[in-house]
Structure 1
């Protein structure tokens, strides 16, 4: 394995890094994590990727991670000793797509029991359906690790790196013959679990009702909660806890501190991050919401998030273990924005001896939680150890 970090963010510096990695002894595939702020000229980037003589996969993210550094300009090129086969599945927002059928046509039979790296366009509307189809076909014989690429502008654009160039509205699945361990750190809890919570609004009828039923949804857009407009219900609960009015113009700023969570009897909470209000007045989230799902408004502190990430890092260090080769982290960009300057503390907590850390600040995270299921998470810190890469 060979890791190259470049901090210029130019197409020329990326080209030098790619060719240097290919020239390193034993490198047979390239995994690329790059910053979307690099603003690569698309024709030049496509030509560069199509001209590579080895398989390449990766994405453009709001930021990348290397060791204890968070960078918004530059790229990481990881040269892998395995000749991988990146499988690209297009149409992750197609409302009629049968992803089980598409994956059956695209994937080979050799994925079972291996570590699957899964990258998606984080602004696609049917990521959950895609991840569930992948789980349906390949179960939990191996681990899953990955996340969503894309831009904080929330404008969907080409963001996934492939040998065919940069693509949008797609997913990339890569199987690695490498033992792995994966853990998920959250740190968010329902408002009603906060024993110190008080209603700051003198207009609140109280008590604030939770959980909420998602009475009308359309993929990743919440139209109504408890048969009332979603923004009104969500905004009232946030206002009651925070003592401030939810701005229709900046849902994402409020959601940094108050995400939504899908409650499940078997697996706790799956976080959903509201991004913005659609022209129709619907709450658009990162990831789908099942119709009829019960949801909570969540809250957390910087300390609870950092502690959850540290616990995830401890979990992947547990035996049995051989010498780890790589620590791969997908840490949600809205989580990073919530932590602010304290994100450096979260990064410190993720350092694992003899395992260089690489990763990205992603738009949604993909991981299996234990041996039960695979999920598309929001506002999570996903930590994976890839051994003997």
Structure 2
């Protein structure tokens, strides 16, 4: 393929889409078969039908997701769409996941693992890219099952898509379907995987999540989770937390799941129930060891340098980047733009493009895949 073709459309009209697809057609005329990887801002989700119609008219494969926002030229954009060329030979499939009582059905997971086993290199040279509806209730368990079936046959990377309000909505589409409760899987051939980092830090005190249900922490140490969280915020950080100011503080002091290797797994609290259960943006296993961590400081470049160090040995035509929406909420737009600009400079001359994320998936290289919050993910787009 020629140097990566990616186009940001601030306005999605038949005219702007048609003109952009002409660039993709030029690849085909030069003998390179490409498809369209489309990231569409949430407020533009009604325009997905235009993308489908245009892609079908010129017979180009379409992989698409609705996202809270885009990363374009070191800026966060809340309107429009990003259209990126990818090799049409890339194995890709859209799966609708059914689930019962917060658990994904075995049949759905088996269909996904069968697809990966069929198309991934047996020697482990490929990367599995997953686009996941953020409302799927148990993505951590899905990853556990996938690893049980597939193991290290692939590197794992992905992002959660959909509405930043976490309300259910169709958010994944191909040439003909536009669905919710799904996963789009792509097997990137001969691909080194991705880097991801957050550099959130906290104290070393640990507590046990004694009762959980999917993304809900019901009790910590046998007591209502919110009551314990209030006490921890007061004792560790001097914050008087209540239901009124919960959301304002929680994004800056999330939970973290302790890990023996690598950075801890962040879980951002987003809701408190009447019974004191705390809903997080990601599954929390029962009996998980929890701490409350302080989010990365505005102006810190630790995360940027870590991603740059990983990317330097690799050559790519661009870097597909997923930036956690909760991280941006914590930092604020000004500090977020500073971090994004620093990352763009760190990765230069490779261009950076991508989307805000509602949850991140990564394994590094040949490590167990995990579901994260607060991460920045950098994926070489080859």
Q: Which TM-score band applies after superposition, normalised by the shorter structure? A: 0.7 to 0.9
Q: Give the Cα–Cα distance (whole angstroms) in 1 for the partners of residues 380 and 186 of structure 2.
A: 16
Residue 313 of structure 1, aligned match among 270, 291, 308: 308
C-alpha displacement of 1:43: 5.9
For 1:40-79, what aligned pairs fall within 5 Å after superposition?
40=46, 53-79=59-85
Determine whether 1:336 maps to 2:348: no
Residue 325 of structure 1, aligned match among 317, 337, 340: 317
Q: Which runs of 5+ in 1 are unaligned?
A: 194-209
Give the aligned partner of residue 207 of structure 2.
Answer: 212
C-alpha displacement of 1:45: 6.1
SS in 1 for 2:268: strand
SS in 2 for 1:24: helix
C-alpha displacement of 1:44: 5.5
User: Could you say what the CA RMSD is over the residues aligned between the two structures, in angstroms?
Assistant: 2.5
Give the aligned partner of residue 22 of structure 1.
Answer: 24
Q: Give the Cα–Cα distance (whole angstroms) in 2 for the partners of residues 70 and 214 of structure 1.
A: 35
Q: Give the Cα–Cα distance (whole angstroms) in 2 for the partners of residues 47 and 253 of structure 1.
A: 42
8 Å contact 2:193–2:364 — kept in the other structure? no
Determine whether 1:253 maps to 2:255: no
SS in 2 for 1:302: coil
Give the aligned partner of residue 192 of structure 2.
Answer: 180
Determine whether 1:3 maps to 2:15: no
C-alpha displacement of 1:114: 1.2
TM-score (norm 1): 0.85
Give the aligned partner of residue 232 of structure 2.
Answer: 237
Q: Give the Cα–Cα distance (whole angstroms) in 1 for the partners of residues 65 and 188 of structure 2.
A: 17
Give the aligned partner of residue 197 of structure 1.
Answer: none
Residue 347 of structure 1, aligned match among 340, 347, 351: 340
Residue 119 of structure 2, aligned match among 96, 110, 129: 110
Q: Deviations over 1:90-148 (max 9, x none)?
A: 22654251254232444451223312211101122111122223333332343222201
Q: Give the Cα–Cα distance (whole angstroms) in 1 for the partners of residues 368 and 254 of structure 2.
A: 22
Q: Give the Cα–Cα distance (whole angstroms) in 1 for the partners of residues 183 and 86 of structure 2.
A: 20
For 1:284-303, what aligned pairs fall within 5 Å after superposition?
284-303=279-298
TM-score (norm 2): 0.87
8 Å contact 1:117–1:174 — kept in the other structure? yes
Q: Deviations over 1:249-300 (max 9, x none)?
A: 4543322101111112244411111121245542111221111111111113
Number of residue equivalences: 366
Q: Deviations over 1:285-330 (max 9, x none)?
A: 122111111111111342575322331222221x3x3x31120111
Q: Which runs of 5+ in 2 are unaligned?
A: none
Residue 272 of structure 1, aligned match among 249, 255, 267: 267
